[in-house]
Chain A
Amino acid sequence: MPFWDLQDQLGLNVDKWMLHQSSEQPYKRAALCHAFEKEWMECANDIGQIRARKECRIEYEDFQECINRHKTVMRLKTIVAQKKKLIKEGKYTPPEHHSGKPEARP
């Protein structure tokens, strides 16, 4: 697809390493969302944007969730709101180890 593809022709990697998280990192330290990005890219590679949007929607949503964590935050917020409501009604008390004292065991 690239016209000249100079970097592959010359065997160089001048800036292709910074194009995505899943490229080789220094000290082999993987990014936090490495697996999601790898799955999405393997799914969506070489099939064109229109097909990729349709067929790789699940992987893409998981990848975006890993980065932004919108669904996680919404879920935690609903649980905390419900917990506050129950505490106000008096139906729920948090267990003892949730009181912020330092733990005795690791």
Chain B
Amino acid sequence: MAAVVKRHLPAGGSRVSYSLFAIGIGSLLVGYYNLIKWNRERRRLQIEEMETRIALFPLLQAESDRRTLRLLRENLEEEAKIMKDVPGWKVGESVFHTDRWVPPTSDELYYLRPVSELHNEKFGLQWYV
């Protein structure tokens, strides 16, 4: 038998793989471009949020300070009531020798209240474990 039958096939042919590569890499590049734009927009929004917090900070700090002082005052009065009959107890005595203002710990603020309030104060806004 003679050689191979003449085959009527197109001469050469474009590879599909090149176009697939092009589509893949092209979609990557389009994705990167959109990602970079959106990240820059997110950074601008984040800066705005931080500036809002900075602007409101004195108000929030003042509220927090007022609350701390209120809790300390209430604790002082409760302590006076509780330790009325204990001999030699000085109400509101500071454990430090200095008379500088020492910021109170959260234990000092909430020790007369249910322990759930202390847990709320310490971990209420925490999401990580």
A→B interface (CB under 8 Å): 32, 35-36, 39, 58, 61-62, 65-66, 69, 71-73, 75-76, 79-80, 82-83, 86, 92, 94-95, 97-100, 106
B105 to chain A, nearest CB (A): 7
Known A-B contacts A80-B112, A83-B112, A95-B78; A62 and B98 likewise in contact (beta carbons under 8 Å): yes
B100 touches A (CB below 8 Å):
yes
Q: Given A71-B95, A73-B107, A79-B83, decide whether A106 and B63 contact each other with a Cβ distance below 8 A.
A: yes
Please give me the residue from chain B that is nearest to A95 by CB atom: B78
Q: Which 10 A-B pairs have the closest CB atoms?
A: A100-B114, A71-B95, A76-B111, A58-B97, A83-B82, A106-B63, A62-B96, A98-B113, A72-B95, A100-B116
Partner of A79, one of B74, B82, B98: B82
CB–CB B79/A79 < 8 A: yes
Tell whether, in the assembled complex, residue A65 and residue B95 are in contact, meaning their CB atoms are under 8 Å apart: yes
Q: Which of A62, A79, A83, A98 contacts B97 (CB 8 A)?
A: A62
User: Is B103 among interface residues, defined by CB-CB distance under 8 A?
Assistant: yes
Determine how close the nearest CB of chain B comes to the CB of A69; give it in whole angstroms: 7
How large, as a class, is the contact surface on chain B? 20 to 34
Q: Chain B residues near A100 (CB, 8 Å)?
A: 113-114, 116-117
CB <8 Å contact, A80 and B111: yes
Question: In the assembled complex, which residues on chain B have CB atoms less than 8 Å from the CB atom of A39?
Answer: 98
- CB-CB < 8 A to B67: which residues of A? 106
Known: A82-B86, A100-B113. A72 touches B97 (CB 8 A): no
- In the complex, 13 of the A-B residue pairs with CB atoms within 8 angstroms, ordered by the A residue number, are A35-B100, A39-B98, A62-B96, A62-B97, A76-B107, A82-B82, A82-B83, A82-B86, A92-B82, A95-B78, A98-B114, A100-B116, A100-B117
Residues of A within 8 A of B63 (CB): 106
Q: Which residues of A contact B112 (CB under 8 A)?
A: 79-80, 83, 94, 98
A83 to B114 alpha-carbon distance, docked (Å):
13
Scan B41-67; emit 1 where CB is below 8 A from any A CB, else 0.
000000000000000000000010011
